Structures are given as C-alpha cells and as structure tokens.
Amino acid sequence: MYDGHLDLKQFRGAFPTWGRLLDRLEEVSTPRFSANRAMRQLVVGDFLSQLNQGGDDWENTGSNPLPAYAEAWSGTTDSAHEIDPVYELARTANDLDIYNGALGHLPDDEYVARVRAAVLAAAPARRNALDGGVGLGGLVRYTTRDIKVAGSGHAVFTIGVQPVDDRRSPLGLRPDGDAFTIEVDVKMPTMIQRTTESERARRSIVGVQLEGLKPITPLLRPVVDLAADKMAALACQPGVGDGILAPRFKDIADLYYIARTCPMDGDKLRKALAENWHWREAGRSGPPQPYRFYGQSPARDDETEILWDQGFRQLRGRVAQLQDYPDFESMTTTIGTFLDGAADPSNGVWDPTRGQWGPSVRSEVASTMSLALTGTTPSQHEPIVPMQRHLFVFDVDKTLSKHDTLDTLAELAGRLPEVNAVHAEDYETSIRAKIAVLRGVDASLVRHVAETLELSEGAEQLIRDLKAAGHEVAIASGGFDAIVGPLAERLGVKRFAAGKLGIEDGKLTGEVSGLIDGPGKATAIRGWNEELGIPRERTVAIGDGSNDVDMFEAVGFAAGYQPGAAAAAASHTILSDMGYLNRAAHLPLPERLNAATPTSSRRNGSERAS
C-alpha cells in the first residue's frame, strides 16, 4: 500500500471504518456534488496515487480531472457548502483516464504488458476480493476484474473496490459495505496529443477535504490540448477520432466549463488547435470560422443535421450540476467567443472571469495555423482510430416497414374500422384491444402480410451496408413474431424482439403475449449490449413513434425516421430518408440521394434533411 497522499495516523483516526468515511462524505455532499460522486473521486485519486508511488510517470487526462485545471468558477454560486464550486459544477466523470509518459517509447505490445503489470501490482486479479491490493489507508481492497485490450497500446481495466473492516477482531478481515467498480482507461502516449509540456494540477483532483488527506496533484495533459480535442470532436462528424457515432453532447459542457474556469495562453491554444489530428482524420484544413458544431442548424448539405440543443437538454436533465449551466444559446456564444478569438494572433490570454481575450505580447507562433493546417484528404491516410463496431436497432412499423403492419392485417381482414375505433391511454391496453377485434381471422392473412411487407425505401440496402461494415443489427418491435420473424430472416438479422401472436387451429385467438412496449424495447437493447459487448454509447436506435422514446433514451445516438412529436423530441437527428443514415454511419450515400439536392424542411418543429 502506498500512502504518500495520506497522513495515515490522522486519516484512520478520523475514519476508523468505511462507514465513518461515508458518513463524512454525506455530511459535506451538496445537491450538485453527491456523496457517491465524492466517494468515487476519492477512490480514483487513491488508485492513481498507488500507481504513481510518489512519482509522476502516470499522467491524468480526460474529463475526470477538469476541476484540477480550474482557477475559479466565474459566476454566482452557493458558498454555504464545503465543496468548491469548481468541483460541484464540473460534469460528473468517474472513469480514470491515464497514460504513462515514461513508457511511451515502447512498442504497443510491450507498453500494454508493462501497463498490465503495474495495474495488477496495485489491483491483483484475485477471486477473493479480500486478497486484493490495499487502498485508502486500509479501508478498501483493489482487484482487477476484467482487462480489455483495444489495440494501439490501449487497455481498459475494470477494478473491483471492496470496502473492508481491517480492525483486529476474532473474525479477521471482513467486507464492510457493498463492492463497486471503477474503470481505468490506459492509452498509449502517442494517442494523447500534447503540443506543450504537461502541467501540474492547479488543485487536488479530489473535491472533498478530509482529515489526513493531502492534495492529490498529478501531472495533467495540457489544458490547451484537452480544449482543442473537444473543440475538434464537436466540429467534426461524430465517429472521427474515436470511431463512435454518438454526438458528443457531454463535450459541450466540458468545453463551456473550460472557457468559464481556465486561463489560456493564446499562442499555445493556437498551436494545439492547428496541430490537432482530428482535422487530418476528417480531411479538413482546420476549425470552421466562425466556429460551429458539425451538423448544427442550419446544417450544410453534406452534413447529417444534429439536434444539439435538444440533445444537450436531455443530458442536462440527467446530470444535476448541468442544470445550473445557462441556456444552449448562451453556452455556444461563450464557446464561440473563446474559440473564434483563439484564431486571432493579436489575442494573448483568455480571461475566463470576463469571458474575453486580452492582447498578445508576442506573436512568434502566429503563423502556426497556416503552416500546420495543410489540407489533406481522407484518401491520403488510414484513420488513426477506425470506426468501432456499433449496434443498430430498428423499429418496424413506419420505420423498416412503410406501413403499420397491424393496420394492414386489419384491412385485409375487413376489420380496419373496428380496429381504428379502439382508443386507450396506454400502449399495451390499446394493442390488446385491437388484437381482440381480430379474433377468428385466418392466420394465412398474417403470413400474407409478412411475405408482402413493403419496406421503406433504402432500408434493405442500409442493413446490408451496415452488416458489411462489421456492425450488428437488431429489430425491436411493438408488433408480432409472426410478422417480425420472417422480416428479420429476409433481412439477415439474427436478433429481434416482438410480441407473440396467439394462433390456434389456423385462426387468431385474439390474444397476444410478451408484448414489447417502450420499456420492453429498452430492456431488449440492454440485453443485446451485454450479449455483444457493445456499450450504450455505441448503440444507435431508429424509430418513429412514442413507443420508441424509451429505446431512444437507452442509446448513444437516436435517429427519428419521419417521426411524430414524441419521437422527434427525443431524437438526436431526424431522417426523412433511410439512406441518410449512411452518412451518419460514415458510409457512402445511395446513388439516388447523391443525385438529389438536399433541402431543409420542418416537421413537428424539428429541422431535418430531406
């Protein structure tokens, strides 16, 4: 156990047990900085200290240490609490993103081997959690539960954290609370762009001040490079740089936070912006002037429109501290002032308190932009980070299928007026009542609907293209297996979720079981995520109705296909043609769309490419 960041006697005197520590964290917590967040931040800081063992080889990057860059939060805050607003108002980010600068000269495989050995020394892979590495002055034990090597010197470790009671007793060491996990994401230094020297944390990466806990101030990736990364990620098409198609709504919060809290040297930021490799990946010469997000309304003809305002509102609703951020327009104005001003070599220092650039006192780096941004095209290089495998989940009725399959069946049976006369407040009651109307209908009509189902234009080709690109495809339908099953087989889709239509003696019984309502679609997606090892952030859902809202909220990227009001309000982009999803997935547009001239139209108050 390394305890250089602790006055062990004082720390354990104040916190002889895990429960006493949790009580203290609860006392100092605020609505914007929960006890759970404080606990995880403390454990992450302790684990990084175990790796560093008093040195500086392991450097911190990503969003987790954002408060450690901050000078102050410029604005009105509640000062009645012990937690500094710079910690409260940073977006919650619990993962530990690190790299080892001292090992950066090694080949990828040797780097991963050395990283693995270092992590396993702090958190051995033991079946019994009590046999793990000692942390937090003896209050926890660390074990490695899982290791994923993603290539290019990149490894992700899932670390189990088991609180223990280590006081001497007849029972010996025993668990003292529920175990939990933290994720340690280790990257190769060559994957972490640094255009200037690493910087020492301005303040502790841990937001709580506890008896016996010293400030944990590791080396950090330069803030100018962190800002440049986030700016470029928002300006380039989602998927460039990280291979993930979900729009990076969280980076809006992080970039705004940086602009509000961090003084910035203009020359260093210009250099970082100019040399950021996202531009080369995207085949662009540099940031847009004036600065704008990719697909921001009004989107260019070659972009997929992203509903940034809507997506950020959804994120704000899930993250407590973001509710204190201003409206989207005010945030983008601040970000624009910050980034557009960076392009002007006469600007020297960014003042986050005033939200203004001060004049430059030197200009030797003023030409960096023009020298570094030599326009390249995508054909001149291989992507540094290729597109990762995604899961695409499609609704059926009025999404994959042009028409509502239940209405089609009812029309064939001559009972459409009776079905349309059914009205109910909730989805399940409505569907069950409509199916009851079809009792006694010959099952051959169901087979006919399945065999003659008319697909939305471009849907079949899109699924072929997605599968050919290595992605997974599934169907989540509020419809019925007797129709969805044959459709899945026709499209070569192995996974689908649908209700079971009651059929006996060749007739419909008027009953249905296992209906897949909105929450059922979300549950099915989570099951496929676990089965395939594809996380939520790499899951894309396509649907049109209110029954798709839950699955939209369960994925990283929600595409409304000619949606109604409820689905449009939960979407991240809106498609008028299934083929436009090709562009979002970094696939060539179908010829019929290449020949068309995109225009902009509106439906339910949302813009979409048509």
Give the pLDDT score at 152: 72
pLDDT at 377 over 70: no
Contacts of 411 (CB under 8 A, 6+ apart): none
Average pLDDT, the chain: 88
Beta strand residue intervals within 345-446, DSSP E: 347-351, 356-359, 391-394
Whether the full predicted model's pTM is greater than 0.85, yes or no, is no
pLDDT at 603 over 50: no
With bands split at pLDDT 50, 70 and 90, how would you rate the model's confidence at 525? very high
Q: Which of 582, 556, 394 is nearest to 479 (CA)?
A: 394
Catalytic residue among 166, 251, 267, 395: 395
pLDDT at 287 over 90: no
With bands split at pLDDT 50, 70 and 90, how would you rate the model's confidence at 170? low
DSSP state of 389: P
Span 261-267, mean pLDDT?
Answer: 93
pLDDT at 373 over 50: no
Give the pLDDT score at 595: 61
Give the pLDDT score at 81: 65
Q: How far apart are CA 131 and CA 179, in angstroms?
A: 14
Q: How far apart are CA 288 and CA 305, in angstroms?
A: 16
Give the pLDDT score at 360: 66
Span 469-496, mean pLDDT?
Answer: 95
Of 105 and 551, more confident: 551
Give the pLDDT score at 592: 81
With bands split at pLDDT 50, 70 and 90, how would you rate the model's confidence at 172? confident
The amino acid present at 248, given as its one-letter code, is R
Give the pLDDT score at 507: 94
pLDDT at 327 over 90: yes
Ramachandran class of 460: left when φ > 0, alpha when ψ lies in -120 to 50, beta otherwise: alpha
pLDDT at 598 over 90: no
Q: Which of 231, 308, 295 is nearest to 572 (CA)?
A: 308
pLDDT at 69 over 70: yes
Q: How far apart are CA 29 and CA 334, in angstroms?
A: 29
Dihedral (Cα; 222, 227, 233, 234), 10-degree rounding: 170
Q: How far apart are CA 556 and CA 239, in angstroms?
A: 12
* Residue 501 near residue 438, CB atoms below 8 Å: no
Q: Which of 567, 578, 571 is nearest to 555 (CA)?
A: 571
Give the pLDDT score at 529: 95
pLDDT in tens, 120-153: 999 999 999 999 999 999 999 999 999 998 767 7
With bands split at pLDDT 50, 70 and 90, how would you rate the model's confidence at 602? very low
Give the pLDDT score at 346: 86
- Tell me: cis bond preceding 298? Omega within 30 of 0 counts: yes
DSSP state of 595: T
Percent of the chain having pLDDT more than 70? Answer: 90
Give the pLDDT score at 150: 77
Q: Of 179-188, 534-543, 578-587, which range is least confident? A: 578-587
Angle at 83 between CA 81 and CA 84, to 5 degrees: 110
Q: How far apart are CA 316 and CA 536, in angstroms?
A: 18
Distances (CA, A) of 393 to 360, 397, 466, 496, 500: 51, 13, 11, 9, 19
pLDDT at 378 over 70: no
* Residue 29 near residue 188, CB atoms below 8 Å: no
Q: How far apart are CA 99 and CA 191, in angstroms?
A: 9
Tokens found for residue 510: 């008027």
Q: Of 66-75, 89-98, 214-223, 522-531, which range is least confident? A: 66-75
pLDDT at 606 over 60: no
Of 383 and 356, more confident: 356
Tokens found for residue 208: 């709580």
pLDDT at 100 over 60: yes
DSSP percent split of the chain into helix, strand, coil, nearest 5 = 40, 20, 40
Give the pLDDT score at 419: 92
* Residue 30 near residue 88, CB atoms below 8 Å: yes
Give the pLDDT score at 126: 95
Q: Which of 579, 568, 570 is nearest to 608 (CA)?
A: 568
The three state secondary structure string of 312-371 is HHHHHHHCHHHHHCCCHHHHHHHHHHHHHHHCCCCEEEEECCCCEEEECCCCCCCCHHHH
Catalytic residue among 185, 397, 465, 544: 397
Percent of the chain having pLDDT more than 90? Answer: 71
Q: Determine how β-strand 539-543 pairs with β-strand 557-561.
A: parallel
Identify any residues that bridge with 98 across adjacent strands, giving them in sequence order.
60, 186
Continuous segment of H or E residues that includes residue 477: strand 472-480
> Could you tell me the sign of the dihedral formed by the alpha carbons of 127, 133, 136, 138, in that order?
positive
Give the pLDDT score at 26: 97
Q: Determine how β-strand 539-543 pairs with β-strand 96-100.
A: unpaired
With bands split at pLDDT 50, 70 and 90, how would you rate the model's confidence at 609? very low
Give the pLDDT score at 383: 52
Q: How far apart are CA 257 and CA 253, in angstroms?
A: 6
Active site annotation includes 146: no
pLDDT at 92 over 50: yes
Q: Which of 24, 44, 3, 20 is nearest to 181 (CA)?
A: 44
Give the pLDDT score at 77: 47
Span 168-196, mean pLDDT?
Answer: 88
Tokens found for residue 580: 């436009």
Active site annotation includes 395: yes
Contacts of 240 (CB under 8 A, 6+ apart): 233, 278, 281, 282, 383
With bands split at pLDDT 50, 70 and 90, how would you rate the model's confidence at 285? confident
Q: How far apart are CA 99 and CA 106, in angstroms?
A: 13
Domains annotated on the chain, with CATH:
8-221 (no CATH), 225-380 (no CATH), 391-609 (3.40.50.1000)
Ramachandran class of 106: left when φ > 0, alpha when ψ lies in -120 to 50, beta otherwise: beta
Tokens found for residue 209: 């001040």
Span 224-242, mean pLDDT?
Answer: 91
Give the pLDDT score at 348: 87
pLDDT at 11 over 50: yes
Tokens found for residue 3: 């305890």
Give the pLDDT score at 425: 79
pLDDT at 382 over 60: no
Please, what is the end-to-end C-alpha distance for the chain in angstroms? 61
The three state secondary structure string of 113-136 is HHHHHHHHHHCCCCCCHHHCEEEH
